[in-house]
């Protein structure tokens, strides 16, 4: 019993099934984080001598298994189903290991801590640190590679409560708010840094929390006071305990309010069945108020380090104060003192071990790896707190004579060996280390790293550079930007570049092509480009306002296409856009209704009707403020609440619009609880697009806050309305757009008219719109590699994923020259950046793989095609269709069959006590193309969504396609310079399986 079994798995339901299965067999699980470097994982697997690894198919090939057998929770379902359902005879005893958790090691090698069942169980039954009851609902937010996950998982499961797995691999405050609200969470365990951040950024998370525990680092007195002032009834617990004492050794429950004379938060008193001693170097107890080293005894003390007898002898001592045979003390290495009130006060470490953002780190391990670099003669690593509350790891190095290093070199080397949280955020290179009179490194004299960073900052030197710097800082949410800083290294991407270019048009009156932005992504280069264009008087004319004498406004080309399709099928809801926006807090329905009405007043597009007299062209007529509004109180609906919400939203979503007379905005406010509701909307696509969704959410929050305070929102009147844009667009078709048309016809000459993906069913004679989707979330490690490869090739995430998708679908179809469609916001004019309406356009991205290019080359081509397409995005897609496909095939979409897009969700906003969640389009079970690949990028792990036509494809086929795309990214980002014929990118076994399945 207690044999170690590795658990190498992404967070999902199967992770917990795997954990329970390991324990049910009497073994101990060894958590291995998929985001860790391969070398560290191999070291852990080798050190633990685990005979088996519970994993997933997509992770199994990343690991050098050696002699270990792989059990895949997904691919081995048939094998696992053959085993009996009865419990195995093997059973664990209280003293057997339940898990082996690896922590940082001072020698440069991680060490495994063996924790027994009794160590964990002593925390979970009637403890004084928390109220563990069957009605508790807790979020499992801590990765299982950290011991605090024990509290998240087992405090709920062992007491009949509910444990909700956090849906992301990394913490996200906005997601945490949604999880707490949606799942009625009442209990939280947060690492100290996350605890402080939530109080600073989103204290409303705690509104319905009954108890919160925190640990990992010293608890902030100021943050506890702030939380108590806002929510005085919440129970707060400060937890202390090294991994070697199984999560918690002592706890402190601060009284409310905190005593004014308190200057720090104590770590409290020992937990149940735990003892604590503050001893001098002779292992003698010290008096109250005197500092000494903290020792922990009792059932909290773990079994010790796996395979480290010398280290066990050093850290685990015979307990001289116990009469229990075999009792031991753990030497923590922490300094503490007893206070007069019986609580322990934590004073810090007496060695090089530190805590950074809740992670225990041996700085010696980082120093050892840094010193291994050929260029380094001497290395020191510190945890600095130059800004109060912001602790970070900094590397100091003296290079060998004649050799140089950069922070990027250090970062790359250490990331190949260490988890992300152990990699220094800054590096300082010195001629010599400062020394004490005794000849040791004087760590207190090592300089702050900011000095070397600030030395590279160059302030704006001209009025144009000053204006650009202000705009960059606003878009990137930075305090300042130097003229030589790279926009994309600062976190910019193609979408933020597009927004910035639109704002520069407004401020400078010049057109800056997106391609020029990528070629010169610094303020200095961009200012020179803008000044040259200004000198040449290349200023853009504004879109003019319509005059009453001009008569009814025409439809834009996009509107005309949708109007025609709606006329052919007037009962079809296909172009409805149903949206759901979660609302948190006590919403006033009257104010919410008034705010929506004000949005309809501001944006004429939302009160427009479409008419046609005889054979004349259709035109648009702006009417009075009108919207369909309904209120639904489901607070007392009980178990039927979800079904009733679905019924209301389904009725709202499927009812067709009469474009000649109906209000084109319908709204339903659904009250779910006194502090929780939904705003469900349905808007016809003819007046709305994805960008408009973010504008609506942003303005709704501002208007709600202003109406609630009896003031006017700071929303300027729009300079033009949609009818002005439609008239202007029609005028542009006469001359300027002809140049765009010439570009596109030349760019697409000779390409295949249809991308022939192998389908599971014959294509219907008339195109159908039935759809479903498959989602995949990339691991944090793979996401970071994708971002690194993108930066290395001066590409964006969009371009990198586009190249991968082109590679995959070339293999599926057997075609080497084809196109994707890609939506663009169409907001290339500053006048329409904050307008609601149908400005969306489609550009065409051509893929050419005839010469079997390397992945690097394919990324370069994706970059060129994307930039060129964005620079020629003003041609309405309908005009291109009319030119290239005058006679249409009604069995397929014209020009492209696969749509590729990037989606960056808007952040929730707050208005007083009400939170307006991210507005999201409701899935209506439809697909507008054969296949649509969407990349979700919210700054965390990337997500992939494949939306497909269910009349063409079966779900299993698209699921395999998604898996192959992830596998292709795994290979391409590890060896980005390797040629990527698909035979190499997808292994021979997968290729043959793919062919057989299709």
755 vs 817: CA distance, rounded Å: 9
> Above 80 in pLDDT, residue 514?
no
Quick check: 205 and 176 in contact, CB under 8 A? yes
835 vs 692: CA distance, rounded Å: 7
pTM, full prediction = 0.52
Of 491-505, 613-627, 760-774, give the lowest mean pLDDT range: 491-505
Which residues touch 52 (CB under 8 Å, ≥6 apart)?
A: 5, 6, 68, 69, 70, 71
pLDDT of residue 976: 40
Quick check: 193 and 201 in contact, CB under 8 A? no
Residues 494, 496, 501, 505, Cα dihedral to 10°: 150
pLDDT of residue 419: 79
pLDDT of residue 389: 54
Alpha-carbon Rg for the chain, nearest whole angstrom, is: 31
Name the band, by pLDDT with cuts 50, 70 and 90, for residue 541: low
> C-alpha angle 126/127/132, rounded to 5°?
65
Higher pLDDT, 897 or 12: 897
> Above 60 in pLDDT, residue 945?
yes
> Above 60 in pLDDT, residue 330?
yes
The per-residue pLDDT for range 447-477, each reduced to its tens digit, is: 887 533 333 466 676 667 777 787 787 777 6
pLDDT of residue 509: 65
Q: Strand 353-356 to strand 344-349: parallel, antiparallel, or no bridges (unpaired)?
A: unpaired
pLDDT of residue 775: 93
Residue listed under structure tokens 């795309």: 965
Quick check: 56 and 9 in contact, CB under 8 A? yes
Name the band, by pLDDT with cuts 50, 70 and 90, for residue 555: very high
Cα 533 off chain centre by? 39
Of 224-233, 536-545, 682-691, 926-935, give the lowest mean pLDDT range: 536-545
pLDDT of residue 887: 59
Structure tokens at 876: 């309405």
The per-residue pLDDT for range 639-680, each reduced to its tens digit, is: 899 999 999 998 998 899 999 999 999 999 999 999 999 999
Which residues touch 77 (CB under 8 Å, ≥6 apart)?
A: none
> C-alpha angle 353/354/359, rounded to 5°?
115
pLDDT of residue 167: 82
Name the band, by pLDDT with cuts 50, 70 and 90, for residue 981: very low
Ramachandran area for residue 495 (φ above 0: left; ψ -120 to 50: alpha; else beta):
alpha
DSSP 3-state of 855? helix
Structure tokens at 554: 């025409």
Q: Cα-flanking dihedrals φ and ψ of residue 390, to 5°?
A: -120, 85
**Mean pLDDT throughout 248-267?**
89
Of 184-188, 239-243, 304-308, 404-408, give the lowest mean pLDDT range: 404-408
Quick check: 698 and 833 in contact, CB under 8 A? no
What burial letters (b/e) apply to 931-968, b meaning 16+ CB within 10 Å? bbbbbbbbebbbbbbbbbbbbbbeeebbebbbbbbbbb
The per-residue pLDDT for range 37-56, each reduced to its tens digit, is: 888 888 899 999 999 999 99
918 vs 693: CA distance, rounded Å: 9
Instruction: Look up residue 571 and give its DSSP letter.
Output: T
Nearest alpha carbon to residue 219 among 234, 194, 238 = 238
CA distances from 801 to 775, 843, 864, 948, 964 (A): 15, 17, 14, 18, 13
DSSP 3-state of 44? helix
DSSP 3-state of 175? helix
Residue 857, Cβ density class (10 Å: 0-12 exposed, 13-18 middle, ≥19 buried): middle
How many residues belong to the chain?
998
> Above 90 in pLDDT, residue 232?
yes
Structure tokens at 382: 């510190």
**Mean pLDDT throughout 811-826?**
91
Structure tokens at 180: 């707490």
504 vs 538: CA distance, rounded Å: 13
605 vs 625: CA distance, rounded Å: 11
Quick check: 760 and 958 in contact, CB under 8 A? no
pLDDT of residue 973: 85
Q: Cα-flanking dihedrals φ and ψ of residue 444, to 5°?
A: -70, -20
801 vs 859: CA distance, rounded Å: 9
Tell me the CA end-to-end span of the chain in Å, nearest whole number.
45
pLDDT of residue 899: 95
Structure tokens at 654: 């499927």
> Above 60 in pLDDT, residue 276?
yes
Residues of the chain with pLDDT > 90, as a percent, come to 36
Quick check: 258 and 219 in contact, CB under 8 A? no
609 vs 991: CA distance, rounded Å: 53
pLDDT of residue 788: 83
**Mean pLDDT throughout 956-977?**
84
Examine residue 284 and say whether the peptide bond preceding it is cis (omega within 30 degrees of 0).
Answer: no
Q: Count CB atoms within 10 A of the CB of residue 411.
A: 17
**CB half-sphere exposure, 753, CA atoms < 13 A:** 10
The per-residue pLDDT for range 357-413, each reduced to its tens digit, is: 556 687 877 887 888 888 988 888 888 876 555 577 889 998 988 888 888 788 888
Higher pLDDT, 490 or 860: 860
Residue listed under structure tokens 């391609």: 515
**Mean pLDDT throughout 836-852?**
92
360 vs 294: CA distance, rounded Å: 17
449 vs 941: CA distance, rounded Å: 29
pLDDT of residue 460: 73
> Above 90 in pLDDT, residue 933?
yes
**Mean pLDDT throughout 245-270?**
89
Nearest alpha carbon to residue 5 among 119, 90, 75, 123 = 90
Compute the mean pLDDT over every residue in the chain, rounded to the nearest whole number: 84
Cα 625 off chain centre by? 39
Structure tokens at 666: 């319908």
| DSSP, residue by residue, 383-398 | EEEEETTEEEEEEEEE
> Above 80 in pLDDT, residue 267?
yes
The per-residue pLDDT for range 779-809, each reduced to its tens digit, is: 988 998 898 888 777 677 888 999 999 999 9
Residue 415, Cβ density class (10 Å: 0-12 exposed, 13-18 middle, ≥19 buried): middle
Quick check: 945 and 772 in contact, CB under 8 A? no
Helix (H) or strand (E) holding 560: helix 557-568
> Above 60 in pLDDT, residue 491?
no
3-class SS shares of the chain: helix, strand, coil, % to 5: 35, 25, 40
CA distances from 43 to 7, 51, 63, 97 (A): 14, 14, 11, 20
926 vs 932: CA distance, rounded Å: 11
pLDDT of residue 494: 55
Nearest alpha carbon to residue 514 among 863, 892, 170 = 863
pLDDT of residue 590: 93
| DSSP, residue by residue, 745-764 | HHHTTT--SS-----SSPPP
Strand partners, 863: none
Quick check: 250 and 240 in contact, CB under 8 A? yes
784 vs 769: CA distance, rounded Å: 36
The per-residue pLDDT for range 559-615, each reduced to its tens digit, is: 998 898 888 878 878 889 999 999 999 999 999 999 999 999 999 999 999 999 888
The per-residue pLDDT for range 72-130, each reduced to its tens digit, is: 988 888 888 888 877 777 677 888 899 999 987 656 678 999 999 988 888 887 787 78
pLDDT of residue 983: 34
The per-residue pLDDT for range 10-41, each reduced to its tens digit, is: 888 788 888 888 988 889 999 998 888 888 88
pLDDT of residue 358: 57
What burial letters (b/e) apply to 299-312, b meaning 16+ CB within 10 Å? bbbbbbbbebeeeb
Name the band, by pLDDT with cuts 50, 70 and 90, for residue 978: very low
pLDDT of residue 94: 85
> Above 70 in pLDDT, residue 843?
yes
970 vs 58: CA distance, rounded Å: 9
DSSP 3-state of 608? strand
Nearest alpha carbon to residue 994 among 763, 812, 792 = 812
Residue listed under structure tokens 């943050």: 223
pLDDT of residue 451: 34
Helices (H) and strands (E) in the chain, counts: 30, 40
The per-residue pLDDT for range 336-355, each reduced to its tens digit, is: 999 988 999 988 776 666 76
Residue 205, Cβ density class (10 Å: 0-12 exposed, 13-18 middle, ≥19 buried): buried
């Amino acid at each position: 019993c207690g044999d170690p079994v590795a658990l190498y798995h992404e967070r999902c339901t199967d992770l917990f099934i795997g954990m329970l299965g390991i324990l049910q067999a009497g073994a101990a699980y060894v958590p291995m984080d998929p985001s860790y470097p391969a070398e560290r994982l191999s070291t852990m697997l080798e050190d633990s001598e685990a005979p088996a690894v519970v994993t997933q198919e997509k992770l199994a090939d990343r690991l050098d298994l050696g002699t270990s057998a792989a059990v895949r929770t997904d691919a081995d379902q048939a094998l696992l189903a053959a085993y009996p359902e009865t419990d195995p005879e093997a059973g664990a005893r209280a003293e057997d290991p339940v898990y082996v958790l690896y922590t940082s090691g001072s020698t440069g090698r991680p060490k495994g801590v063996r924790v027994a069942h009794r160590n964990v169980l002593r925390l979970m039954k009637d403890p004084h640190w928390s109220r563990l009851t069957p009605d508790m609902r807790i979020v499992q937010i801590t990765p299982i590679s950290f011991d605090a996950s024990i509290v998240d998982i087992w405090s709920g499961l062992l007491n009949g409560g509910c444990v909700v797995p956090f849906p992301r691999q990394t913490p996200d405050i906005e997601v945490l708010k949604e999880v707490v609200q949606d799942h009625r969470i009442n209990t939280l365990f947060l690492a100290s840094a996350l605890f402080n951040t939530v109080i600073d950024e989103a204290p409303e998370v705690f509104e319905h929390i009954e108890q919160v525990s925190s640990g990992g680092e010293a608890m902030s007195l100021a943050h506890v006071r702030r939380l108590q002032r806002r929510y005085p009834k919440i129970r707060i617990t400060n937890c202390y305990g090294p991994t070697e004492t199984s999560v918690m050794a002592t706890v402190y429950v601060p009284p409310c309010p905190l005593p004014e004379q308190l200057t720090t938060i104590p770590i409290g008193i020992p937990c149940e069945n735990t003892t604590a001693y503050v001893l001098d170097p002779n292992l003698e107890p010290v008096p109250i108020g005197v500092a000494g080293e903290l020792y922990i005894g009792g059932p909290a003390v773990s079994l010790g380090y796996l395979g480290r007898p010398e280290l066990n002898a050093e850290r685990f001592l015979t307990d001289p104060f116990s009469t229990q045979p075999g009792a031991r003390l753990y030497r923590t290495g922490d300094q503490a003192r007893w206070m007069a009130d019986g609580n322990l006060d934590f004073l810090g470490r007496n060695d090089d071990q530190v805590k950074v953002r809740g992670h225990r780190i041996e700085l010696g391990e980082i120093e050892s790896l840094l010193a291994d670099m050929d260029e380094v003669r001497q290395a020191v690593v510190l945890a600095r707190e130059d800004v109060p509350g912001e602790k970070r790891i900094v590397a100091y190095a003296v290079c060998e004579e004649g050799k140089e290093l950069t922070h990027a070199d250090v970062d790359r080397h250490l990331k190949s060996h260490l988890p992300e949280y152990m990699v220094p955020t800054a590096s300082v290179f010195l001629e010599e280390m400062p020394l004490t009179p005794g000849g040791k490194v004087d760590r207190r004299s090592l300089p702050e790293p900011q000095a070397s960073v600030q030395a590279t900052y160059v302030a704006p030197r001209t009025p144009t550079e000053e204006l650009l710097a202000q705009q960059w800082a606003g878009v990137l949410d930075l305090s300042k930007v130097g003229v030589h800083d790279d926009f994309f290294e600062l976190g910019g991407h193609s979408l933020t570049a597009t927004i910035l270019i639109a704002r520069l048009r407004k401020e400078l009156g010049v057109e800056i092509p997106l391609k020029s932005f990528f070629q010169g992504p610094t303020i200095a280069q961009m200012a020179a480009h803008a000044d040259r264009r200004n000198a040449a008087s290349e200023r853009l004319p504004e879109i003019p306002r319509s005059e009453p004498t001009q008569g009814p406004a025409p439809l834009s080309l996009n509107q005309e296409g949708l109007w025609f399709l709606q006329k052919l099928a007037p009962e079809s809801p296909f172009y409805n856009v149903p949206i759901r926006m979660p609302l948190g807090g006590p919403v006033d329905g009257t104010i919410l209704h008034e705010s929506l009405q004000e949005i309809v007043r501001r944006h004429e597009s939302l009160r427009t009707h479409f008419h046609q007299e005889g054979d004349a062209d259709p035109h648009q007529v702006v009417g009075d403020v009108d919207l369909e509004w309904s209120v639904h109180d489901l607070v007392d609906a009980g178990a039927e609440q979800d079904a009733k919400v679905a019924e209301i939203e389904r009725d709202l979503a499927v009812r067709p619009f009469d474009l000649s007379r109906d209000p084109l905005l319908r709204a339903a406010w659904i009250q779910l609880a006194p502090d929780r509701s939904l705003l469900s909307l349905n808007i016809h696509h003819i007046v709305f697009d994805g960008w408009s969704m973010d504008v609506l959410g942003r303005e709704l929050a501002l208007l709600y806050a202003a109406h609630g305070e009896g003031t006017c929102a700071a929303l300027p009147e729009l300079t033009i309305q949609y009818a002005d844009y439609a008239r202007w667009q029609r005028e542009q078709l006469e001359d300027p757009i002809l140049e765009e048309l010439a570009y596109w016809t030349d760019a697409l000459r000779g390409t295949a008219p249809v991308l022939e993906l192998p389908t599971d069913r014959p294509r219907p004679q008339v195109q159908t719109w039935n759809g479903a989707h498959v989602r995949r979330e990339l691991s944090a490690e793979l996401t970071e590699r994708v971002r690194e490869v993108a930066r290395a090739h001066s590409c964006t995430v969009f371009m990198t994923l586009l190249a991968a998708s082109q590679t995959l679908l070339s293999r599926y179809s057997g075609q080497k020259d084809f196109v994707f469609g890609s939506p663009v916001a169409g907001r290339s004019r500053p006048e329409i950046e904050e307008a609601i309406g149908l400005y969306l356009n489609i550009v065409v991205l051509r893929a050419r793989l005839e010469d079997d290019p390397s992945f690097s080359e394919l990324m370069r081509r994706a970059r060129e095609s994307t930039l060129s397409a964005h620079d020629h995005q003003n041609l309405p897609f309908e005009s291109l269709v009319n030119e290239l496909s005058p006679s249409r095939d009604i069995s397929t979409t014209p020009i492209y069959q696969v749509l590729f897009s990037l989606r960056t969700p808007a952040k929730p906003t707050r208005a007083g006590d009400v939170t307006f969640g991210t507005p999201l389009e409701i899935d209506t079970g439809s697909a507008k193309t054969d296949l649509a690949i969407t990349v979700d990028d919210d700054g965390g792990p990337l997500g992939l969504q494949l939306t497909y036509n269910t009349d063409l494809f079966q779900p299993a086929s698209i699921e395999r396609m998604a898996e192959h795309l992830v596998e292709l990214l795994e290979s391409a980002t590890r060896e980005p310079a390797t040629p990527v014929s698909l035979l190499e990118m997808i292994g021979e076994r997968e290729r043959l399986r793919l062919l057989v399945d299709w």
